[in-house]
């Protein structure tokens, strides 16, 4: 398993090379956990499923990379909402109603897709990866528009009672055991008692906290200062 650092932009091309293989998945040091990141296609889903021994009826979100790319799959009634929360929702998963989905797949649940909103060098790196990967991959397996921001999941066996892996030695051991080709250091990991919170839209079009997580009260406070959640059009 090769190790690289996310600050080394030349090495980021190694991720693109990995995404173009039949096992397009890597380990990434997130802010609160170690996670898996894979190409946003059928092979990427299959790779994470294999590694995690994925339980049924589990769906994959993605990183928020290039904003304009993700906005192409959001249902048009929610575009203004996205513009409002893209910064206030940093550090959380946001689950949006979407359009342009192909046949039912493991990245979409009840016509929604969730993205992890990060910032700083993690966001910049994902934008670079998406921009470079899309140069050679012209169609999406999951959407009618070419949305290619990497899919993500926690680094663990699906349903593990201990949750996601948060220490480097365990993450490296896990990666070696599962023959994951690439380990990406970021120096972003902080000591955390919870993972990322998840905010999602109710059937009435109101944004709710679906899963508590790190800094959820702070994020919720920022979102509550916005007006978008009081006048959303129900779909």
CATH code, domain with 30? 3.90.870.10
Q: What's the pLDDT at 235? A: 35
The verdict on residue 118 lying in a domain is yes
Q: What's the pLDDT at 80? A: 87
In the chain, the number of structural domains is 1
pLDDT > 70? residue 208: yes
Q: What's the pLDDT at 228? A: 60
Q: What's the pLDDT at 176? A: 96
The verdict on residue 134 lying in a domain is yes
The verdict on residue 234 lying in a domain is no
pTM comes to 0.91
**Rounded mean pLDDT, 77-96:** 88
The verdict on residue 145 lying in a domain is yes
Measured CA to CA, the distance from residue 11 to residue 15 in angstroms comes to: 7
> Is the distance from CB of 115 to CB of 62 less than 8 angstroms?
yes
Q: What's the pLDDT at 202? A: 77
pLDDT band (50, 70, 90) for residue 231: very low
pLDDT band (50, 70, 90) for residue 161: confident
Among 194, 189, 188, which residue's Cα sits nearest to residue 216? 194
The verdict on residue 235 lying in a domain is no
Structural domain for 206, as ranges: 2-229
Q: What's the pLDDT at 229? A: 54
Token match 């480097």: residue?
A: 168
Counting residues of the chain whose pLDDT is more than 70, the rounded percentage is 95
The verdict on residue 143 lying in a domain is yes
**Rounded mean pLDDT, 144-170:** 90
Calculate the CA dihedral of residues 7, 146, 94, 5 and round it to 10 degrees.
Answer: -10
Question: Which stretches of 58-205 are assigned E, i.e. beta strand?
Answer: 61-63, 92-97, 112-117, 151-154, 182-185, 198-201
Helix (H, G, I), strand (E, B) or coil at 48: helix
* Each residue's pLDDT tens digit, 99-150: 888 877 889 988 899 999 998 889 999 999 999 999 999 999 999 999 999 9
The verdict on residue 153 lying in a domain is yes
The verdict on residue 163 lying in a domain is yes
């Amino acid at each position: 398993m090769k190790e690289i650092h996310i600050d080394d932009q030349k090495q980021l091309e190694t991720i693109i090379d990995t995404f173009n293989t039949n096992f397009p998945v890597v380990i990434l040091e997130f802010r609160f956990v170690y996670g898996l990141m894979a190409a946003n296609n059928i092979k990427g889903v299959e790779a994470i499923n294999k590694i995690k021994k994925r339980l049924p009826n589990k769906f994959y979100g993605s990183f928020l990379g290039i904003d304009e790319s993700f906005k192409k799959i959001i249902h048009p009634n929610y575009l203004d909402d996205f513009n409002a929360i893209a910064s206030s929702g940093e550090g959380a998963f946001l689950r949006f109603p979407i359009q342009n989905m192909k046949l039912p797949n493991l990245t979409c649940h009840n016509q929604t897709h969730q993205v992890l909103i990060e910032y700083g060098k993690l966001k910049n790196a994902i934008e670079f990866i998406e921009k470079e990967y899309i140069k050679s991959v012209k169609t999406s397996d999951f959407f009618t528009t070419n949305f290619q921001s990497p899919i993500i999941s926690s680094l663990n066996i699906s349903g593990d009672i201990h949750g996601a892996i948060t220490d480097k030695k365990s993450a490296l051991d896990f990666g070696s055991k599962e023959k994951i080709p690439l380990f990406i250091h970021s120096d972003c990991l902080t000591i955390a008692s919870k993972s990322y919170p998840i905010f999602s839209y109710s059937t009435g079009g109101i944004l709710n906290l679906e899963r508590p997580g790190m800094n959820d009260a702070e994020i919720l406070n920022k979102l509550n200062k916005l007006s978008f959640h009081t006048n959303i059009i129900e779909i």
